[in-house]
Structure formats: structure tokens, C-alpha cells
Amino acid sequence: MAPQESLVAALATLAVGSGVTAVLAGRERPRLCGYVAVAFMVLAGIGVYYAAGSVFSRGPVALAAPLLTLPALGAELTIHIDHLSALFLLVIATIGILVTLYSVEYVQRYRGQSLVRYYPLLLLFLASVVAVVSVPDMLMFLVAWELMTLLSYALVVFDKESPVSLRAGLKYFIITHVATACMVVAAIILYTQAKSFSFTALGGAMASLSQSNPALLHLVLGLFLIGFGTKAGMLPFGDWLPDAYPAAPAAASAAFAGSMTKLGIYGIIRVFCQMLPVSHFSLVWGGIIALFGTISIFVGTLTALAQDDSKRLLSFHVIGQIGYMMLGIGLGIYFLPVRPALAVVGMIAGTFHLINHVCYKSCLFLNAGAVLYRTGTRDLNLVGGLARVMPLTATTALIASLSIAGVPPFSGFSSKWMIFQASAVGGIDVPFFMVFAIVAIFISIATLASFLKFLGTAFFGRLHVPEGAAAESDVPASMKIPQVALAVLCVLFGLAPVLAISRIYPAISGVLPAGYAPSAQALFGTSPAGVTLNLGEGPAGAWYPLPLVAVLLGGLVVAHLIYRSGGARARLTEVWHCGEAHAAEEIRYRAHSYYQPFKEFLRMRIGARRTSGIYPHLPIPRVGNPVAVRRALDIDAWLYYPLLRWGGRVLNRFSRTHLGIPQVYVLWMVGGMILAIVVLFWLS
């Protein structure tokens, strides 16, 4: 089977799996339904892996003939997989398999909810995400994008008994559809120039507009940035994210973090690197993207520092980490016209951070879900010391936390180091990139502080769980395996960053003009053990994690030997509380107590309003409810019910003609025939 055909088969498998799981869920067989969903996801994943692997080994592939053609619109439904699509397909398939497996036991806690609204929608959601990165036509792209949005909305409001979930879903629905409308307007503007929705034709329209109507092209690019940035979670357009992610089940949140928000970055790369010609427009919009990225880094991460809800804390960190990706990619777009080596490294660094973020952030959402599964709460003030009863979850949470904080030798450090290097070197020519680099480095420290709070309250210290919680052991195996797999990837990409870079380089160089990108060996060196970074002016830095790990392990061994040779005795005793006896609950250090001076420093007063941090909470004006407007919107009162009453009276009168006498029915037949003959003659 050809790679492109295997991808079509994978999409069909997910569609069939959705139907089968809907039937099983309706029969209330939750575990069977879950494992059947896993089986279909694994089958689809095999097809996706085969398609993506074939592209990396043999080059881009496409269907020989479109599945659907709309000549009147200049659009067609077909499959085209290049290296960028293949990279995202690998990510989507991996996350899809892991979150579906995790869901088998996790969704048991939603006993009052029908799984008909979960597994079928989850499989269709993953199919729509695959479709988004596989179609080369903007109209079909937007159709798949809208399907993805609607299905993710249904997952956000899965807990339909929760008013918080319903409000978060409504906010998500409105904001993302406004953003999609912006993308539709931009696509229509380009279509009027190209008379086709194919990415290639729209790219030609951009080239034409850059000469004939630059202002209109700026409008188009701005609309695309709003659309893609909103889905990615870029501030200020990603305000839906801190509400929607906590509302969804943890497995769905992990799927969103591992696939959906990353498609915003995918769209930015497609539009601003592939479709937009390298020109002064790249300078303008690269700087804007980097600026929005830095704002997201700063505001999102510092707001996360003040959160006590575990999933809300992680959601704000999604905004912050998306900012790092946009900083790297924006820097790359900015330098495309002037410094190709620096541009390519910046875009690869941002995309590498995307891959790393998929691993550690999805893992962290699964960790938070495991804590919720065992304790019944997301409030970090109510839990503590869970490492004693959930050691594997605590270990994977520790690895993922160190990765997101950029602590070497874990994966987050490698990509952040590349972003810092590119931003600092770019700042020599363009000073505001130096400012961006300083902000990014400072916020990386704040990220570490935030996850010290997450780990310190949830997993370390005295064991404490809410009354009645069944936190006596770790989560089931089907929930452990996804956490372990993602933690292993955090370690693997940290120790061997070349593994990821070798796949990212063809994805980025493939969307740039032919021959534009320097070779991978010229940019990153030839050693499989590490990276020697060349930003166009010779080696700018080097990162070899394996020798560092060897030195650290050797130092630990020496320290342990010195400790053992001293023969010192260890004595465990209770903490002294000034000679006074206190209940454990009184002396427990809660999440809310972390960084209080810092949180007070971030409070701001604007007029009569006092904010709890730097995150923008815009007041929503109250709108009156005029009687005339209410009546105009009450369609039932002025249209539906009057028609219903009128129709009822007509039918009642007509029913009186049915007397039960055969002669009357014969007369009706004769009358009908005469009326039909008259009408036919009149029409002729």
C-alpha cells in the first residue's frame, strides 16, 4: 500500500472506530469500549507511522487523483504529505495512542456521563487533526479545522453537569469561531486573486499582492496570525485556554496540548514560511510574531506561578511555552531575508521546543489527571506527599517538570538553549531580540519555581489527601504506561537532541525556497553525541549532554563514597516547632503560601480595580435586556407557535371531511382528478 493510501486507510479506521465505540458505549460496556478504541487508534497509528516514515525515507507523497473535486470553487480534497506534515503526523499518532490508552480507566470517574460523547468524539477529533496537516487545499483545511474545533468543544463540555465546564466551552466556542472567521476572510481575499484554494496558488496570490497591494497583504497576514495564534494560545487571543483545558477530561487536555494547539504553530509555518515569499513582509511579521511570543512567555508563566489548581497552572504554562515556540519561529521568519543560517536555526529551535512540549506537557496533564483520579481534587492546597503512594506518577512528574523548566540534561533545555542562542546572536543586529532573550531566560527560572510548587505540594512533604479519597496506591497500568512513555521521550530527546533535529531539519528546509537553507551538518555539526551550533559566522556554542551526564554521575558516585567512608549516622526526627505541639494540618505548607511576596508584587491597581496578577482580566460590560429585543429573539412566540396553532386548526377542519362513507371518498378522488387536469392544462 502506498503511504498516502495508508493515511486514507488510517482516517477510515478512526471513522469506523468512532461508530463501533458509539455502539459499545450505548450498551454501557466502558472498559470494553475503551480497549476497542485503543485497538482502532493503534491500527490507525500504524498507518500514520508508515506514511510519515515513508516520507522521511523517500520524500513527499500525494494521492494520484483527488478524492473530491469542486471545480466551481477551485478546490479539491486530496492528500499531500511533505516532511512538515510527516513530523506532525508522528506527534499526533503518538499522542493519540497514549491518551486513548490512558482514558480506559480514567473516564471511569465520570460515572454519570455517557461515553457515547467521549470515545467516538475523541477518535473523530484525532482524525480531524490528522486531516488538518494532510490536505494541501485551504478550503479543505478550513473544513477539517472547523471539524476539529467542534469536536474539541464537545470534549471540553463532556462533564455537562458542571456549570464551569459549560461556561468554559461557550467561551472556547465563541473565541475560536471568531478566529476561524478571520482565517476564512483571509482565504477568500487570496481566493479572489488566485481563483483557487490550493496552498501553491494562494502563495502566488501573496506574491502578487506584495507588489500590487501591500496593505491588503498585511491585512491577510494579520487575519491569519489571529486565527492561528488563537488556536495556539497566543496572548491576548488565547484567553480561552486557561478555562477550556481544566474543564476537559485530563486525557482530552493532554490530546489538546499534544496536538490541537500545536496546529496553530503548524499554520504559522505554512503561511509565513511556505506561502509568503521571503521579503520585507517577513521582517515585519517575524518581529510581530516574536513580540507576541515574548508577551505570552512573560504573562502566561508568571500567572501560572500564582495558580493553586493543578490543571489551571499547567494551562497557563501552555501559553508560556507556546511563547517560546513563537519566539524561535518569529525570529527565524524575521531573519529569512538577511541571515539564512540564523533564520533556519531559529525555526528549528522553535519547532524542537514544540516537540519537547508535546512530551512534557502531555505528561504533566496526565500526572494531574492521575492525582485527580486518586484524590478527587485539582486543588494543590488539599494534597501532599503523594509520592509515597504514587511513586511512578511522582517520578514521571519530576522528569516532566525538570524538562519544562529547562534543566539539563532533559529535553526542554536543548530547545531552550537553541532559542536563547539564536535570540542573543540576533540581538547583536536587532537589539529588541536581545531583550526577548533576557525575558525568556528570566522566565525559564520562574518556570522552575512554578514546578517546584507543583511538585512540592502534590508529591513531597507529609502525605495528605482529602477525607474519603482512595489514595492508597498508584494509578492502574493503563494510566501508568502513557506517563512513562512520555517521560522516557523527555529523557531521550534531552540526551540525544540530534534524534529530533534530524527530523525537524527537512521539515523546515522543505517549506523554504529550494536551496535556501544551509545543510544540517553546517548548522549543527556531524557528531551524533551532541550539537555544535553555527549561526552563520562559525561555531556559536556546543551542547554535548552525554559527557555532562557522565560527569554528574561520577560526581554523585564520589560524593556517595565520601559519605560512606565517613561513617556518619543518620537520625530521623520530627521537626521542632518551638516546643509546642501542633496538628499536622496546622503546620502543612500549602500551595497558596508559595511565593506570596512575589505575588503581592505582581498585583496591580487600575483605577478602582485591583488585579490579582499581570494576566489581563477585562471587565465584561453588562448589557440591558430590552423588552423589544427579547421579543424579537423569541422566535417561538412570534413564528413557531402561531404556525402550529394555524396548522392545527386547518387539519382539524380537514379531518371533518373523513366521514367513513365510501361515496364521499370517491367524490374526493374525482374532484382531485379534475383539479389535476386543470392544473396540467394551465401549466401547458
The values of phi and psi at residue 534, to 5°, are -120, 115
Strands 531-534 and 539-543: antiparallel
| Residue 521 vs residues 248, 433, 492, 505: alpha-carbon distances, Å | 43, 26, 21, 10
pLDDT digits (tens, 9 = 90+) for 199-225: 999 999 999 999 999 999 999 999 999
**What is the pLDDT, as a whole number, of residue 347?**
95
- Which residues neighbour 330 within 8 Å (Cβ) at sequence distance 6 or greater? 286, 287, 288, 289, 290, 291, 292, 293, 346, 350
Same domain assignment for residues 540 and 422? yes
Name which of 279, 282, 280, 277 is nearest 203 in CA terms: 277
State yes or no: pLDDT of 623 exceeds 70: no
Nearest-angstrom CA–CA distance, 243 and 172: 8
Same domain assignment for residues 404 and 539? yes
Angle between helices 310-335 and 280-304 (to 10 degrees): 160
Same domain assignment for residues 640 and 611? no
Whether the full predicted model's pTM is greater than 0.95, yes or no, is no
**What is the pLDDT, as a whole number, of residue 633?**
65
* C-alpha cell belonging to residue 411: 529535553
Same domain assignment for residues 548 and 642? no
Nearest-angstrom CA–CA distance, 148 and 153: 9
Highest-scoring range by mean pLDDT, 282-286, 461-465, 531-535: 282-286
Q: In total, how many domains does the chain have?
A: 2
Number of residues written out for the chain: 684
Name which of 88, 84, 23, 13 is nearest 49 in CA terms: 88
State the DSSP code for 117: G
pLDDT digits (tens, 9 = 90+) for 391-401: 999 999 999 99
Can you tell me the mean pLDDT for 595-611? 65
The answer to whether 118 and 25 have CB atoms below 8 angstroms apart is yes
Kind and range of the H or E run holding 632: helix 627-633
Q: Classify residue 28: in a domain, yes or no.
A: no
**What is the pLDDT, as a whole number, of residue 355?**
95
State yes or no: pLDDT of 402 exceeds 60: yes
Alpha helices in 405-529 (DSSP H): 411-429, 431-458, 477-495, 497-509, 520-524
State yes or no: pLDDT of 632 exceeds 80: no
Same domain assignment for residues 422 and 539? yes
- Which residues neighbour 376 within 8 Å (Cβ) at sequence distance 6 or greater? 466, 468, 469
**Per-residue confidence band for 417, with pLDDT thresholds at 50, 70 and 90:** very high
- Which residues neighbour 239 within 8 Å (Cβ) at sequence distance 6 or greater? 171, 175, 616
Q: What is the DSSP string of 194-261?
A: HSS-BHHHHHHHHHHHHHH-HHHHHHHHHHHHHHHHHHHT-TTTTTTHHHHHHHS-HHHHHHIIIIIH
Nearest-angstrom CA–CA distance, 147 and 361: 24
Can you tell me the mean pLDDT for 580-592? 74
State yes or no: pLDDT of 487 exceeds 90: yes
The answer to whether 545 and 495 have CB atoms below 8 angstroms apart is yes
**What is the pLDDT, as a whole number, of residue 497?**
93
Same domain assignment for residues 547 and 635? no
**What is the pLDDT, as a whole number, of residue 187?**
94
Name which of 349, 322, 336, 320 is nearest 286 in CA terms: 336
Same domain assignment for residues 596 and 648? no
| Chain center to CA of 377 | 23
Same domain assignment for residues 369 and 468? yes
Q: Classify residue 145: in a domain, yes or no.
A: no
Nearest-angstrom CA–CA distance, 46 and 260: 20
Can you tell me the mean pLDDT for 53-68? 91
- Which residues neighbour 617 within 8 Å (Cβ) at sequence distance 6 or greater? 611
Can you tell me the mean pLDDT for 123-144? 94
State yes or no: pLDDT of 178 exceeds 90: yes
Same domain assignment for residues 447 and 596? yes
**Per-residue confidence band for 588, with pLDDT thresholds at 50, 70 and 90:** confident
**Per-residue confidence band for 582, with pLDDT thresholds at 50, 70 and 90:** confident
Q: Classify residue 608: in a domain, yes or no.
A: yes
The answer to whether 361 and 301 have CB atoms below 8 angstroms apart is no
State yes or no: pLDDT of 578 exceeds 90: no
Nearest-angstrom CA–CA distance, 531 and 548: 13
**What is the pLDDT, as a whole number, of residue 482?**
95
Same domain assignment for residues 595 and 676? no
**What is the pLDDT, as a whole number, of residue 55?**
94
* C-alpha cell belonging to residue 185: 476572510
**What is the pLDDT, as a whole number, of residue 613?**
65
Q: What is the chain's mean pLDDT, rounded?
A: 88
pLDDT digits (tens, 9 = 90+) for 107-129: 888 877 788 889 999 999 999 99
Q: Classify residue 482: in a domain, yes or no.
A: yes
More confident residue, 598 or 650: 650
**What is the pLDDT, as a whole number, of residue 566?**
83
Can you tell me the mean pLDDT for 90-113? 90
Q: What is the DSSP string of 124-187?
A: HHHHHHHHHTT--BHHHHHHHHHHHHHHHHHHHT-STT-HHHHHHHHHHHHHHHHHHHHHHHHH
Same domain assignment for residues 669 and 541? no
SS3 state at 589: coil
> How many CB atoms sit inside 10 A of residue 357's CB?
26
State the residue range of the domain holding 676: 631-683
**Per-residue confidence band for 579, with pLDDT thresholds at 50, 70 and 90:** confident
Least confident span in 275-289, 537-551, 666-680: 666-680
More confident residue, 323 or 627: 323
State yes or no: pLDDT of 606 exceeds 60: no
% residues pLDDT > 70 (the chain) = 95
The answer to whether 344 and 512 have CB atoms below 8 angstroms apart is yes
**Per-residue confidence band for 190, with pLDDT thresholds at 50, 70 and 90:** very high
**What is the pLDDT, as a whole number, of residue 413?**
93
The answer to whether 216 and 285 have CB atoms below 8 angstroms apart is no
**Per-residue confidence band for 594, with pLDDT thresholds at 50, 70 and 90:** confident
| Chain center to CA of 352 | 15
**What is the pLDDT, as a whole number, of residue 599?**
72
Q: Classify residue 429: in a domain, yes or no.
A: yes
**Per-residue confidence band for 231, with pLDDT thresholds at 50, 70 and 90:** very high
Q: Classify residue 447: in a domain, yes or no.
A: yes
State yes or no: pLDDT of 36 exceeds 90: yes
**What is the pLDDT, as a whole number, of residue 336?**
93
Same domain assignment for residues 484 and 361? yes
Can you tell me the mean pLDDT for 536-559? 89
Name which of 642, 192, 173 is nearest 165 in CA terms: 173
- Kindly tell me the sign of the dihedral angle through the C-alpha atoms of 408, 95, 267, 344: positive
Q: What is the DSSP string of 530-570?
A: -EEEE-SSSEEEEE-HHHHHHHHHHHHHHHHHHHHHHTPPP
Please identify which residue in the block is written with the cell numbers 529530533: 500
Question: What's the distance, Cα to Cα, between the start and end of the chain in Å?
Answer: 58
Q: Classify residue 523: in a domain, yes or no.
A: yes
**Per-residue confidence band for 25, with pLDDT thresholds at 50, 70 and 90:** confident
Q: Classify residue 263: in a domain, yes or no.
A: no
State yes or no: pLDDT of 580 exceeds 90: no
State yes or no: pLDDT of 93 exceeds 90: yes
pLDDT digits (tens, 9 = 90+) for 251-274: 999 999 888 999 999 999 999 999
